[in-house]
Structure 1
Amino acid sequence: MSIWAFALVANWGLCWAFGIWDGLTLHSHPSAKPPSAVLPMASAAAKVVAAADAATSTRAHSLSRIFSSSSPNVQSPNPNPKPKPKPEPKIMRAPTPKPPAADAGSDADDKLWKPLGYIIKGLLRERDPEKLVSDFVAASSASARFRDRHRVYEMAVSRLASLGRQDSIETILGAQKRFLETSKEGFATRLIGLYGRAAMPAQASATFHELPAQLKCTMTLNAVLTAYYQAKEFDALATAFQEISVSHPLVVPSVYSYNILIRALCQKHDLSAALNVITLMEKCGVLPDNISFNTLLNGFYQNGRMDDAEAVWEMMKGWNLEPDTKSYNAKLRGLVAEGRIEDAVAVVERMEKEGPKPDTVSYNELIRGYCSAGRLEDAKKLYDGLVKNECAPNRGTYETLLPRLLQAGELDCAVRYCHGLLSPNTKNCRVDRSLLQDVVTTLVEASRVDEAAKIVELGRKKYYLRKLLMPHTEEDNEVQTEPDEEESTSEEKVCEVEQEIEK
């Protein structure tokens, strides 16, 4: 039996244990018997009344226990009461100051050796990994406010991961575990997620098992599953899904959990098992959503199983789910992969008329199809029409068009697109540096040095810095940029975090 089948069977068994199977609460004790015939109406009514009386008695007893310690007992009056002594005058004393709480969240920022913002900026620009680790651990141990700076954790882990310093990452994250007892779910989820970002899923799973009981929840389960998915350890993901569900019955997988499992199975090209997860969700009382079916659609279309994909569309109807733009984008992706560009165009035209409205990804699929078919003019028309369709070019748009324009020798158009990409008005759109470098190099080879220099200038303003070079000065610039290569975090991200600090 494959691990996927084993996982499904085990989870079905889990559903049985929870009494979800067929909506009944079952008992595994051998003495358990099926319910007897319906009791007579009078007997049933008597039982209801008795149960109500018992519940009332229990509540009354609980209330009496709550008030017994503060309510005086009723006693007979004393016939010969003694005179009450005169009260002594009270002496006012200054209150004794309480010692500071010892929990992790109560530490004050005055333990920091410098202002918090100054320390964070220093960490973001620190190039020595050893000093980065020591200063990071010291700051996180001294300041609860520092531990709330999520982006600083992400930056430090990403930088150390790019240097292959998993031991240093373990030092930083391991130092945070002593705060788990007094932390909330979000802190634990973030800690597990950081192991995932560093491609350390085994440590992410181990951290979950070390969590206090109150932090073992659906959120932290999903963080573990995501860590395995990011590391492409799909078999381990399925095992973790099964083991955690069985060993921690109170940790109930959500639709998000099942969607991660579906995505992993599609990545493994085990599409039959991915489809069976929908049945498992139904057995466990979890309703699939559009993401569940869109993931399946992408899996079937990308593997050329067009007929099976159409069956998924029918399943969506059975669950009363309306296909959204991402559903149609999956179909467009499949049609373009098969070279059926006219069919893809027809799908987009129908979306424009009937909905859902196409987005940039929809048009990118058509642009990719036109480029693959050698229809560059049609692709350029689509690019020019993006704004009219209330869409904006994104990374996928430029990474599809720019190489084709260079191959076709259409440098004027390539320069125009680069200026659009590097415009201050274009936000959240970054392409790989090598793509812009190809444009610059091609311009220099065509003796259009001024235009190449302008793109380099614009690129450096958009945080590409010295990594975007003029070919004739490449040697000199490599010497200047050598320290920057040790800095795995881009200047753009550093500036973003620094702006967050100052808010």
Structure 2
Amino acid sequence: MSTINRIIRTFSTSTAAPPAKSIYDDLYHERNLKRLVHKFKNFSQSPSFRKQANVYDQTVRRLASAKKHKWVEEILEDQKQYNEISKEGFAARLISLYGKAAMFDHASKVFDEMPERKCEQTVKSFNALLGACVNAKKFDKVDEIFRELTGKMGVSPNIVSYNIMIKALCEMGSFDSVDSVFGEIGKNGCEPDLITFNTLLFGLYSNGRFVDGEKFWAKMMNASVSPDIRTYNARLIGLASEKKMVVAVELFNELCSKNLKPDMFTYNAVINGFCNDGNLQEAKKWYAKLVQSDSAPNKATFTTLIPFACKLSDFDWAVELFNRTFEHKCLVDPNVLQLVVDGLVKASRTEEAKELVEIGNSNKFRRYNLTILAEE
């Protein structure tokens, strides 16, 4: 008896919880995607396996990232033979999975087939379809589906529905429509939650809509919703883009009184603000604070700081940052690292530039193909 069949038989005869970790490990470590599909379909014969939503999610993401959409279709269409397909939760999961694979037409088909299978369509599957639309980046369809189905199905949208709608509007840059949708929330007996405000604030502040962001920040402060670190990060992005760094630092300091812990995105927002402001000393100071914190610099940190250091001809610091990208294994764009090499050559520090080229082109996790240009 094969290993797969032994596990399936164990699933079928045991009342205990399935050994999800062993199944996950088997699928995770399977490098051959065709065999992965075969194993997944075999494991799916077990009712216990069909409850492992995280395994479904990881498998679909792997196949989709490899652009094996036919195989995504193969494993998900195979699920329709099981009794669970008549249950809304299982159908909603398939809809969501197709959305994550950017296969919205397939997601819509699962939704449309639900009545044929005597599967109830409620706000749960409605939201799954809206979410699939956003995940598949069919943002322009979200409003159409929202309006059509709430009318045809008679389903009352809940706050999750509105949050998905707001996410789509922000992704499209349709910020003038946000007020209208936000106003509908209260009219339909819902209350905006933390996700509502975080989605709005990040969309507005990160797209140069600072005044609108401040308006919704004030609304949140007046509502019974407590901001989290994501909320503060969104406003810090807005303050940094407006070069309001005194207020940004005050907001950062406010985190301690709220028992909120800054993360790398918090530090990056402040660092980016001081770079925009041309303040090298403060940028260095906040980078040092990040390094000393429980967080660590990431790709965005170095992508901001390296060009800034080169622009101000602080090549000693640029070299330090260059080396730190390799210590932290951050996959910074080659053009960013090339700035340091080119700057050193122009500053007649060619030997140092050659050392950086050797580091960049010989490291094990990514080879950058950096080059030495002739001195001008």
Q: TM-score, normalised by structure 2?
A: 0.73
State whether residues 265 and 271 of structure 1, in contact with CA within 8 Å, keep that contact through their aligned partners in structure 2.
yes
1:118-267 residue pairs with structure 2 within 5 A? 121=26, 124-127=29-32, 129=34, 131-140=35-44, 142-181=45-84, 185-211=88-114, 212=117, 216-249=121-154, 251-267=155-171
The equivalent residue for 2:363 is 456
Q: Deviation at 1:259?
A: 0.9
1:86-485 residue pairs with structure 2 within 5 A? 108-109=9-10, 117=22, 121=26, 124-127=29-32, 129=34, 131-140=35-44, 142-181=45-84, 185-211=88-114, 212=117, 216-249=121-154, 251-349=155-253, 351-352=254-255, 354-355=257-258, 357=260, 359-360=262-263, 361-386=265-290, 391-402=295-306, 404=308, 408-409=314-315, 410-416=318-324, 418-419=326-327, 421-422=328-329, 431-432=330-331, 434=333, 438=337, 445-447=353-355, 456-457=363-364, 459=365, 468-469=366-367, 471=369
Distance 1:273 1:236 in 2: 15
Q: Deviation at 1:300?
A: 3.3
Q: Deviation at 1:263?
A: 1.7
Matched AA of 1:230:
N
Matched AA of 1:268:
M
Higher relative contact order (CA 8 A, sep 6+): 1
State whether residues 206 and 238 of structure 2, in contact with CA within 8 Å, keep that contact through their aligned partners in structure 1.
yes
Q: Deviation at 1:331?
A: 2.5
Q: CA offsets per residue over residues 392-413 of structure 1, 9 Å max, x none? A: 4455434433555577532234
Distance 2:271 2:149 in 1: 44
State whether residues 360 and 369 of structure 2, in contact with CA within 8 Å, keep that contact through their aligned partners in structure 1.
no
State whether residues 158 and 198 of structure 1, in contact with CA within 8 Å, keep that contact through their aligned partners in structure 2.
yes
Q: Deviation at 1:374?
A: 3.8
Return closer, same or farther for 1:295/1:182 CA change in 2, 3 Å cut-off: closer
Distance 2:23 2:248 in 1: 54
Distance 1:312 1:398 in 2: 31
Q: Deviation at 1:214?
A: 5.1
Q: Deviation at 1:448?
A: 5.4
Matched AA of 1:338:
E
Task: Show structure 2 runs of 5+ residues with no match.
Answer: 1-7, 13-18, 342-350, 371-376
Q: CA offsets per residue over residues 261-290 of structure 1, 9 Å max, x none? A: 112112223223211222211121111123
Deviant stretches of 4+, over 6 Å: none
1:19-30 residue pairs with structure 2 within 5 A? none
Task: Show structure 1 runs of 5+ residues with no match.
Answer: 1-106, 423-430, 460-467, 473-503
**Matched residue of 2:108: which SS?**
helix
Return closer, same or farther for 1:451/1:432 CA change in 2, 3 Å cut-off: closer
**Matched residue of 2:137: which SS?**
coil
Q: Deviation at 1:257?
A: 1.6
Return closer, same or farther for 1:401/1:217 CA change in 2, 3 Å cut-off: farther
Q: Deviation at 1:363?
A: 1.9
Q: TM-score, normalised by structure 1?
A: 0.57
State whether residues 193 and 204 of structure 1, in contact with CA within 8 Å, keep that contact through their aligned partners in structure 2.
yes
Return closer, same or farther for 1:321/1:133 CA change in 2, 3 Å cut-off: closer
Q: CA offsets per residue over residues 165-201 of structure 1, 9 Å max, x none? A: 3222212111112225467555333322211111012
Q: Kindly, what percent of the aligned residue pairs are identical?
A: 33
State the aligned residue count: 340
Higher normalized helix content (fraction of residues): 2
State whether residues 79 and 85 of structure 2, in contact with CA within 8 Å, keep that contact through their aligned partners in structure 1.
no
Query: Whose radius of gyration is greater, 1 or 2?
Result: 1
Q: CA RMSD of the aligned region, Å?
A: 3.9
